[in-house]
Amino acid sequence: MEAAERAHKRATDGASGLGHVALFVLLRSCNIMMTERANRLLEPHGLSAVSFITMMSLYGRPENLANPSELSDATGETRGNMTRICDDLVDKGWMRRVPNAEDRRRVDLSLTEPGMALLKSVAPQMRRNADDFYDRSFDKNEKAALQGLLTRFAAALAEEL
């Protein structure tokens, strides 16, 4: 976390000479700190931020089924890292491998009942924590402005990809 805080300070002190690259550094350091914060909140449940996002991505899919490549695309993780994440979630009993009905070479993943129960317990806690954090950090107008700017930013990035 110290590295992210140092990067944040360098990016925002105005003397870095980075120009608009400072925005990239600032956004990246915020991402690192947000991930670290989520990891701390999820650790008591045996989860990391990336495993929680993976499970939530699977939860939101039709029939609660996806293959590792689809989960990789949904989370932005590499396929190799997604394999490791899914192996860990299967080992913990929160996901299971399911033969694909249309292609016997393909294996899909599905949340187990304990995995669904975990999400139903943890997701509302994460929502309340996020709501509390943003309510403490920004007033209503600032939150709306931030959401609007980030939405525009995401759309501009999507056009470039």
CATH number of the domain enclosing 153: 1.10.10.10
- Helix, strand, or coil (residue 47): coil
Average pLDDT for runs of 10 along the chain of length 161:
64 64 89 96 96 95 90 93 96 95 89 97 96 96 96 94 87
How far is Cα 78 from Cα 8, in angstroms, rounded to an integer?
A: 26
Residues 119 and 139 in one domain: yes
Token pair recorded at residue 68: 């590792």
- Helix, strand, or coil (residue 101): coil
Residues 68, 46 contacting (CB under 8 angstroms): no
Structural domain boundaries, residue 40 = 1-45
How would you class 101 by CB atoms within 10 Å of its CB: exposed for 0-12, middle for 13-18, buried for 19 or more? exposed
Whether pTM > 0.85 for this model: the answer is: no
Token pair recorded at residue 145: 């402005």
Phi and psi at residue 60, in whole multiples of 5°? -85, 0
Residues 140 and 63 in one domain: yes
Residues 12 and 56 in one domain: no
pLDDT at residue 7, rounded to an integer:
63
pLDDT at residue 13, rounded to an integer:
64
CA 145 to chain centre: 22
Taking CA atoms, 47 is separated from 3, 32, 74, 100, 119, in Å, by 23, 17, 18, 27, 10
